[in-house]
Amino acid sequence: MAAAVVAAGLSLFAVSPASAAATTATFAKVSDWGSGWQGEYTITNGGSTPINGWRVEFTLPSGTSVGSYWDSLLTQSGRRYTFRNREYNGTIAPGAAVTFGFVGAGAGSPTGCLLNGVSCTGTTTPPTTPPATTPPTTTPPAGATPVARNGQLKVCGRQLCNAQGKAIQLRGMSTHGLQWYSSCVNDASLTVLADEWNADVLRISMYIQEGGYETDPAGFTAKVHDYIEKATARGMYAIVDWHMLSPGDPNFNLARARTFFTEIAARHRNKTNILYEIANEPSDVHWSSIKSYADQIIPVIRAQDPDGVVLVGTEDWSSLGASGDGQGVARILADPVNAANIMYTFHFYAASHDDYYLSTFRDAIAKLPLFVTEFGTQQASGDGGNNFVQAQRYLDLMAQNKVSWTNWNYSDDGRTGAVFTTGTCAAGAYSGTGRLKEAGVWIRDRIRTPDDF
């Protein structure tokens, strides 16, 4: 990267203005991956009175455009882009600053910048406050990123809906464990995932045990922060996956989960692209224990981020109870999680999970809001032969009912479920299909088909 990625959310911090300091809007490219970049403007009030509302406008050259953006409202006229404050960051005290960011496609940079009608390079008096009326947001151009087109997601009845209330389906990939395959999650691979595969969503799978979070909480939290920024810069949604497996009771990690989700939600609360998967695959526990865990973790997230969609694991390795007594859906319906903007997860592996699982899933779709955060075309071990016929039956059902999904997994692990051949990540050869396994070619083709946003 050209520069270290910094948190793209709102920052409000004190500075010590020099005598007669200027009020400025300063631009920086904080990440550059060749075909695009992440940019930020920092508006610094060097005057002696508050700024009550701001407007930053600039021109981008032909061939360069804005995709996703955050902490601002955007209107566009030709190549002229105008960003205005949101309701929460319009006032800037003397000696303070706010930051907003966006993703640029193409190699160009902003020119002709004005802050409230005055040059962004500075004036010794605060710029005139712009009109109080809020301009309408523009419809994103064709080819804009999933986040730019859909904004903050919400749960509408049993559907995942975009900011306009339209039911949508997200399709994308899950990482493998970050303690083993973080080398596969980098700027080059994620640019391929976003731009070539046209993925809408990245699931960031952070194991808790097995050499994961519990061995280095600060280090793994930092990794997740970084991958969220990388997904955000490319306009993808990011699922933060608390990947607990063994022990199967999520309450075993309750204190760790509180600490982790507090930090993640606090850092990224102003983003519109974060989903929280709070328990990957509970096992050997009753629904009441899973619900008790959810009842304690969801308020932790909501205290920081009131809007993010939360994904709740289900019984028997998130099979909705199909791997147990088959009553998992009935138990959820009898005692659902009492919270807004939540969905329940279902996982399947097509070579292992037959028509009984498919029927369980079909029945649940009619009763619960569902998100398939993990599936494969092979056996439940993530290895063995692929059953593409059965996998397609699941995908057809999800497409018909707009159930979102992420496939396991975007790595070069030796098992058949990893999309890349062994050694791909070390070689950095992600583009095209030459380094894809059979399952990789199959899932890439199904992610690349047009979205219905």
Please check whether residue 116 is in contact with residue 128, taking contact to mean a CB–CB distance below 8 angstroms. Answer: yes
Per-residue pLDDT for 106 more than 90?
Answer: no
Tokens of 63: 């061939």
Task: Assign 202 a pLDDT band (cuts: 50, 70, 90).
Answer: very high
Predicted confidence at residue 21, as pLDDT, reads 62
Single-letter code of the amino acid located at 211: G
Residue-level pLDDT at 136: 36
pLDDT in tens, 142-152: 458 999 999 99
Is the pLDDT at 154 greater than 60, yes or no? yes
Token pair of 439, please? 């399952």
pLDDT of residue 378: 96
Q: Which whole number is the average pLDDT over 189-218?
A: 97
Is 277 a known active-site residue? no
Instruction: Give 425-450 pLDDT, tens digit per residue.
Output: 999 999 999 999 999 999 999 999 99
374 is catalytic: yes
Q: What DSSP letter does each residue of 326-375 carry, written as one string?
A: S-HHHHHHHS----SSEEEEEEEETTT--HHHHHHHHHHHTTS-EEEEEE
Higher pLDDT residue, 274 or 5?
A: 274
Cβ contacts of 120-124, under 8 Å, gap ≥ 24: 120/24, 120/25, 120/26, 120/27, 120/41, 120/56, 120/58, 121/22, 121/24, 122/22, 122/23, 122/24, 122/46, 123/22, 123/23, 124/20, 124/21, 124/22, 124/23, 124/46, 124/47
Q: Which residues contact 19 (CB under 8 A, 6 or more apart)?
A: none
Rounded CA gap, 115 and 44, in Å?
11
Model confidence at 388: pLDDT above 90:
yes
Mean of the pLDDT values across residues 413-428? 97
Q: Quote the percentage of the chain above a pLDDT of 70.
A: 90
Helix (H), strand (E) at residue 205: strand 201-207
The continuous run of DSSP H or E covering 285 comes out as none
pTM over 0.95: no
Residue 41 scores a pLDDT above 50: yes
Mean pLDDT calculated for residue range 343-365 = 96
Least confident of 66-80, 143-157, 223-237: 66-80
pLDDT tens sequence across 287-336: 999 999 999 999 999 999 999 999 999 999 999 999 999 999 999 999 99
Give the residue-averaged pLDDT of 89-110: 90
pLDDT at 236 over 90: yes
Please say if the pLDDT value at position 342 is more than 60.
yes
Give 364's pLDDT tier (boundaries 50, 70, 90). Answer: very high
Strand stretches in 143-200, DSSP E: 154-156, 159-161, 171-174
pLDDT at 337 over 60: yes
Give the least confident one: 134-143, 167-176, 436-445.
Answer: 134-143
